[in-house]
C-alpha cells in the first residue's frame, strides 16, 4: 500500500504535528528551501499544511497528487479555492483555534488605541512628560460607547462579549443577519452598513477578504465615520484601502486605528508608521505558542479526517 505523505510548507510548532506524524509520513520543508523547492517536490504529497506561501494555480498544478490543502489558520484568501475545486482538491481552514487569541488581540489593540498608549509610550521614551490634563493629550473611555462589529462570526461574537464587560453597546453588520433569538442571546443589534459607519465609536473588522468586502472601508466611509471614532482591523488588510486610511488619519477624519493586518503585508508604509494615532502589530492575532500549537493541531486533524477517514472537516470550497 502506498504511504500517505504530507508536506508542511512553513514554520509550525512541532507539538501540533504529533497526531499527524502517527498517521502519515510528514515532511517539514527545509527552512533554507523556498517556493521553488515546494513546486519541485509537491507532486510527491497527498496533503499539505500551507503556511507562508500562496496556494495559487502554479502551486495547485504542481501538486498533481494532492487531495487536500489546509490553511494553517482561519484565513484562506491566499488559496485559489475555486481552482482547487476544479482539480478535485479539498481546501480546509482552522476556524476554532484562532477564535480566542484573535478576539484577545482585537481588544488589546482596541484598548491601546483608544487610550493612546503608543503616543504615551513614545513620548516618555523621548524623555518628555505628557500633561493629560490637556484635552488634546487625553484618550477615550469605553463605558457607554458603541462598538460596531463588521462580521459577526465566532470572533466577532467573542469581541462583543468583551465589549459588553466594558459597558459598551454593541451593534453589528453582517452578510446574513442573526436570528432574533441569537441577537437577544448575544445582546447585539443589527444595523445596515451606513448606520454602522455613522453610529459606532469603535469599529472592529472580522470579515473575510472577498470580492464584496475588499476595499469596503475607503475614503468615503472614513468621512462618514465620527471624527472621534476608531477602527480596529485583525481580519484582512484588503478590507481597508490603506492609502485612504492614512489620509483619514492624517486629516483627522477619524481619531485613530489599531492594525494587525495590512493591504501590502508584510510591507507597511512609512507614512503609517509615522502616525502617533495608530497602533501596529505584525499579523500577530494568533501569535501565542498555545494558539499556534492548537491551530496546527486543528490543521492536522483536517488532514487526518480526510486522508484517513474520508471525511472533510472545515471545508471552504464545497
Determine whether 126 is an active site residue.
no
Q: Are 110 and 230 in contact (CB under 8 A)?
A: yes
In the set 173, 206, 283, 292, the catalytic residue is 283
Grid cell, residue 128, equals 518628555
Number of alpha carbons in the 13 Å side-chain half-sphere of residue 28: 14
Residue identified by cell 515546494 is 38
CB 171 within 8 Å of CB 189: yes
* CA 197, 158, 72, 309 torsion-angle sign: negative
> Does the active-site annotation cover 265?
yes
Active site annotation includes 118: no
| 17, 102, 249, 257 from 287: Cα distances, Å | 17, 9, 27, 20
Residue 224, classed as helix, strand or coil, is: helix
Catalytic residue among 35, 78, 183, 265: 265
Of 253, 136, 143, 275, which is closest to residue 198 (Cα–Cα)? 253
The CA angle 41-66-212, to the nearest 5 degrees, is: 110
Q: Where does residue 68 rank: exposed (0-12), middle (13-18), buried (19+ CB within 10 A)?
A: buried
Cβ atoms < 10 Å from Cβ of 70:
30
Q: Within 10 A of 35 (CB to CB), how many other CB atoms are there?
A: 15
Q: Name the catalytic one among 116, 206, 236, 292.
A: 236
- Annotated catalytic residues are 236, 265, 283
Amino acid at each position: 500500500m502506498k504511504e500517505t505523505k504530507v508536506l508542511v510548507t512553513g514554520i509550525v510548532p512541532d507539538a501540533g504535528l504529533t497526531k499527524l506524524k502517527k498517521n502519515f509520513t510528514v515532511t517539514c520543508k527545509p527552512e533554507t528551501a523556498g517556493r521553488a523547492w515546494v513546486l519541485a517536490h509537491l507532486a510527491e504529497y497527498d496533503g499539505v499544511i500551507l503556511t507562508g506561501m500562496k496556494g495559487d494555480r502554479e502551486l495547485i498544478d504542481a501538486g498533481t497528487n494532492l487531495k487536500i490543502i489546509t490553511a494553517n489558520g482561519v484565513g484562506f484568501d491566499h488559496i485559489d479555492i475555486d481552482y482547487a475545486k476544479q482539480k478535485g482538491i479539498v481546501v480546509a481552514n482552522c476556524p476554532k483555534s484562532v477564535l480566542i487569541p484573535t478576539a484577545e488581540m482585537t481588544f488589546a489593540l482596541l484598548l491601546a488605541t483608544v487610550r493612546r498608549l503608543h503616543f504615551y509610550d513614545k513620548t516618555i521614551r523621548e524623555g518628555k512628560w505628557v500633561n493629560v490634563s490637556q484635552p488634546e493629550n487625553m484618550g477615550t473611555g469605553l463605558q457607554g460607547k458603541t462598538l460596531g462589529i463588521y462580521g459577526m462570526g465566532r470572533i466577532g461574537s467573542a469581541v462583543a462579549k468583551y465589549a459588553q464587560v466594558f459597558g459598551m453597546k454593541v451593534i453589528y453588520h453582517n452578510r446574513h443577519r442573526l436570528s432574533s433569538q441569537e441577537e437577544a442571546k448575544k445582546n447585539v443589534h443589527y444595523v445596515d452598513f451606513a448606520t454602522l459607519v455613522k453610529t459606532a465609536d469603535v469599529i472592529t473588522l472580522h470579515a473575510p477578504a472577498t470580492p464584496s468586502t475588499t476595499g469596503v472601508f475607503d475614503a468615503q466611509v472614513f468621512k462618514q465615520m465620527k471624527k472621534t471614532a476608531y477602527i480596529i482591523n485583525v481580519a484582512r488588510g484588503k478590507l481597508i484601502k490603506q492609502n485612504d486610511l492614512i489620509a483619514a488619519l492624517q486629516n483627522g477624519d477619524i481619531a485613530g486605528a489599531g492594525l494587525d493586518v495590512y493591504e501590502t503585508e508584510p510591507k507597511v508604509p512609512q507614512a503609517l508608521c509615522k502616525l502617533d494615532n495608530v497602533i501596529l502589530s505584525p499579523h500577530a492575532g494568533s501569535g501565542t505558542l498555545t494558539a499556534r500549537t492548537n491551530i496546527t493541531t486543528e490543521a492536522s486533524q483536517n488532514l487526518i479526517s480526510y486522508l484517513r477517514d474520508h471525511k472533510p472537516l472545515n471545508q471552504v470550497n464545497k
